[in-house]
Structure formats: C-alpha cells, structure tokens
C-alpha cells in the first residue's frame, strides 16, 4: 500500500451571487413608487390651487345679481310720482272714470267738463216725452287749449236706479232743451249746454255719461239727487 495520497481538489472562489428574489417582489416596488410619485404631483397641484399661482376663474354656473343703489330707488319713486301726476292731467282724476255729480273733469288738451244746476222738473204737453218727470242740468264745457274744439261732437247719455235703467233725453223747447250745440268752442271760452234726462219721482240715483268729443273716453258722473 502506497503512502502517497492525493489531496482532494480545493473549491473555486469567485464573486458572491445573491439569492434569487421571490417572484412578484420587483413589480410591487415599482407600483408603490409610481403611487408615491402620483400622490406628490396631486399634492403639489392642490398646494398651487390653494396658495394661488394663477387667478381663479368663476365656474360657468355662477349667477351675478346686481343690487340697485339707494339713489336709483329714489329716482324710480320720483318717476312713478311724476307719471301718476301726468296720468291725472290726461283726463282721469279717478282711475275708472267715475266722478261725483259736482266734480270737474279735465281732458287733454285742457278741456274741462262739469255739471251744474241739477234740479227736478216735469215736461210740458208739447215736450218729448210729454208730462214726464226728469232731471234738468247744464253741461259746462271749457276750452283751455290753444285750438278750437268741435262742440257738436258732445254726447250725453243717462241711466237711473240701482239696476241702471236707461233714461231717455228730454226735448222741451219751452224749457230750453233743444239738444246738443251746433258750434265750435274757441280757445279760452266756455259753453253751457242745457240737458234733461228722464228721472221718475221715486228714483234718486242718476248716472250721466258725458263725452266731449269722438277721441275722448266718457266721464261718468253719478250720485243721488233730491
């Protein structure tokens, strides 16, 4: 038996090789890093929006309400008062055109209409209608304008009682009731037109509608008579 022995070969040395990484670990690191970057970007945008780097613009749904100043309100009130005064001067002292028997109604251009001398009477035997109780009165026209007005356009209509029964006009030459005027009314002058309407003895309420011309609304005078 030989005494010579051959030693076993020595192991080879080289760079250390890391152990293999578990499956899926590298993908998890990448996703986490991306999420962190996105969070940082969003945080930066929010910070810029709060602190302000650019001027904020209103959203499209914003409604802007304008509040009138106190002076504007006062001016509007003055305009309404002026308009009301003008409307009154245009011919209606009362909004619905109804007046008392002793009122004076002013039309444009400056025509005044009033009733005077209201009294009861009875027609004569030659009147139309004859022997009939009626109300006699005078329609007074005044031309305050600068031009003549056609008084032949004057119309007068009457009714009486709570139920508004029609009242015929009275024609009685002996009492001066010959109908409407047949002339023009010059500027600055007045004209008195005698008129009569049927009114039974037992009735007190009378309604007299006077229209000075074809372009005007009627003035309605109403009230009780003795």
Residue 54 has a pLDDT of 46
C-alpha to C-alpha distance for 108 and 217, rounded to whole angstroms: 11
Residue 200 confidence (pLDDT) above 50: yes
As given in the structure block, the two tokens for residue 4 are 């010579």
Residue 10 has a pLDDT of 53
| Extended strands (E) in the chain | 98-100, 104-107, 111-122, 133-143, 149-150, 155-160, 165-167, 184-185, 190-198, 205-211, 219-224
Residue 20 has a pLDDT of 52
Residue 185 confidence (pLDDT) above 50: yes
Q: Taking residues 162-167, what's their average pLDDT?
A: 94
C-alpha to C-alpha distance for 160 and 209, rounded to whole angstroms: 11
Q: Are 162 and 205 in contact (CB under 8 A)?
A: yes
For 71-75, 102-106, 177-181, 215-219, which range has the lowest pLDDT when averaged over its residues?
71-75
Nearest to 144 by CA among 100, 189, 99: 189
DSSP-derived pairing of the beta strands 155-160 and 205-211: antiparallel
pTM of the model: 0.58
3-state class of 7 per DSSP? coil
The continuous run of DSSP H or E covering 33 comes out as: helix 25-51
């Amino acid at each position: 038996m030989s005494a010579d022995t051959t030693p076993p070969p020595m192991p080879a040395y080289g760079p250390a090789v890391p152990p293999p990484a578990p499956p899926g670990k590298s993908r998890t690191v990448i996703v986490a890093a991306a999420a962190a970057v996105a969070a940082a970007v969003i945080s930066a945008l929010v910070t810029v929006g709060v602190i302000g780097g650019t001027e904020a613009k209103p959203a499209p749904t914003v409604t802007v309400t304008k509040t009138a100043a106190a002076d504007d309100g006062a001016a509007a009130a003055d305009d309404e008062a002026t308009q009301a005064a003008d409307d009154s001067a245009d011919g209606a002292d009362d909004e619905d055109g109804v007046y008392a028997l002793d009122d004076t109604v002013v039309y444009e251009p400056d025509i005044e209409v009033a009733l005077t001398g209201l009294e009861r009477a009875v027609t004569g035997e030659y009147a139309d209608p004859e022997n009939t109780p009626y109300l006699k009165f005078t329609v007074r026209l005044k031309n305050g304008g600068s031009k003549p007005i056609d008084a032949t356009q004057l119309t007068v209509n009457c009714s009486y009682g709570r139920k508004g029964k029609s009242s015929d006009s009275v024609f009685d030459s002996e009492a001066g009731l010959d109908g409407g005027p047949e002339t023009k009314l010059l500027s600055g002058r007045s004209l008195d037109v005698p008129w009569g309407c049927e009114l039974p003895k037992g009735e007190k309420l009378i309604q007299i509608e006077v229209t000075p011309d074809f372009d005007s609304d009627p003035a309605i005078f109403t009230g009780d008579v003795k």
